Structure 1
Amino acid sequence: MAHRFKVREIAQQSGLSEATVDRVLNDRPGVRAATRAEVLHAIEDLDKQRSQLRLNGRRFLLDVVMQTPRRFSDAFRAAVEAELPAFAPAMLRARFHLWESGSTDQMADTLARIKGSHGIVLKAQDEPEVAEAVDRLVAAGVPVVTYTTDIPASARCAYVGIDNHGAGTTAAYLMDQWLGDTPADVLITLSRTVFRGEAEREVGFRTALRRSGRGIVEVGDSDGIDATIERLVIDALERNPDVAAVYSVGGGNTATVAAFDQLGRACRVFIAHDLDADNRRLLREGRISAVLHNDLRADARLAMRLILQQHRALPTEPARPVPIQVITPYNLPA
């Protein structure tokens, strides 16, 4: 049994004799299951206590860098700020670098200007310039965790977020089930295909929906900004009279709903991502059918934990995929 403590420490923690602990650790016969469980529990407690000692009095400054619509960055910022106190007795502070629309060069320049950081949570374009900026940070001892959209060719230490291809497949399954025999084409709205996560969602959706024979119309390069989305969706609807459903990959859903209303068109099924304030309202009003969501506070906690692991302030644990939640008006969390 792998462990990092002396037999005497485990015995003291568990209240068992050193001989009994030794038998458990070496998997010798004649040990009751309950006794084995006590030893395992003692080792877990010692691990937690060691982590607390490593964290005690330490200060970490984290940076959150995101190009994303404000409705999402506001929600994630609130999640990060809510989770910072959970890492006591360490003191964590966060700086936020957030903008809605910009170039790859702007992202690379922002990363290059960051100084004094202990780690970065990053939502950025999957482009060579950004990957190189990430590599320089990591080489300088600053771990980077990508969030919601990955940059796999970079030296980032981990990706936090849902399986984007799986999310697209899930959206296609729901879309086809709910449309049934209705002969409707589907509109996909994206912010930017340079975000790998959006591209993976789109590929998953198209692949899974292909067998249905439905037409798919794409609207992209909107940055998820409402004014741009509304104009692009109106144009797409006017050119494609059979569109009667939406898979929103990149946001701007209030504007998409407004575009359907302006043309007097019905949207039979509308599937979106992320439970931000706009989507909550649209769900309650019955304007969208479902939101594919993940817990932003759990995401923030995991991202920060992975950064602290890189500094050996916490024990190493594997990053597990974030589960997708299908939220409807009837299971909308408080």
Structure 2
Amino acid sequence: MRTNDELVPAEERPTDPVRPRMTRTRLGIFVATFVVYVAIVVGVLTTSWPVRFDWQVMLFRPYKQWPEIHTFLDYYVVLGQRGPTAVAVAAWLGWRTYKQKTLRPLLVLGTSLLLLNVTVGAAKIGMGRLGPHYATAIGSNEMFAGGDIFPSGHTANAVVTWGVLAYLATTARARRIASVIAALLALGVGMTTVYLGTHWMSDVTLGWTAGLLVLLVLPWFEPHMARAETWLLALWDRVRERRAAAAPPAGARVGLAGPRTPVDDQLPVREPVGAGSRATARPAERPHLPARPHTARSERTPVTPTGSRRPPHADRTPRTAPLGPAAGRGRPGTAGG
């Protein structure tokens, strides 16, 4: 006997995604990453070896060492820009949402971007570090000077945006491939910002760890995303029901006759245009005119009058007499008189 799932086409079945849980392994990676995050921040605040390395790379000026790749990297760094990458990934996840009949892909993307903006944005504003192009003193950490580049937003966004695709992979093989691709893209975007001189090396390393922390905490938000999906689907169902209730019935549309009601029977009946005219009214509907028999066309009075239609003229001879040779001789002024 075939089950209900076998009777429904595969493309119409709602997919029940496997939601990741915060396992002990994932929790251990999260703690280790957080320790690295704190170590980088402390190293920069104390102007220790991360700051010295930042200045060494900055004074090396990579964009002057390899100027031939400058144009390419100007375009490549867009892969870490929040607007274009979010639109591209949202389009792909929107198609997956339609095929899988679930809002989870878009909810995961929205939650991850929200966490990224809150955490990275707060760190940028709170520490206020200036970038290499705006540095004021060699060897300084440039902290709390009104900047907003620590950690690197491009790098953290590349980790989160492309890492979400690996997080949402449905098979182990697809997850491994997507993880490698996301890691290479994030690595390339981070090093490109260092090459262009827009970020310190410590900005990039902190951006990598900040983006990874966002991906690692997503399982803690899975129950909230599941409740949000249930609420959104219920809201959509209520909106559809209200639209269906507010729509007019099929018989009430223009050009369709619906069932008559007692109120319709009490309304006056409107006659069509020309129904009461004398030309179209029947004899029974015209009591002021006497009834007369219908005559045949041969018995009717001819409409065209007999005789000539020309008006009479004083110099014109009437055509009552027959025309002949003698008729011309009798006219005055002729040769025969």
| TM-score by shorter chain over 0.5 | no
Structure with a larger share of its residues in helix? 2
Structure with a larger share of its residues in strand? 1
TM score, norm. by length of structure 1: 0.22
TM score, norm. by length of structure 2: 0.22
Higher Cα radius of gyration = 2
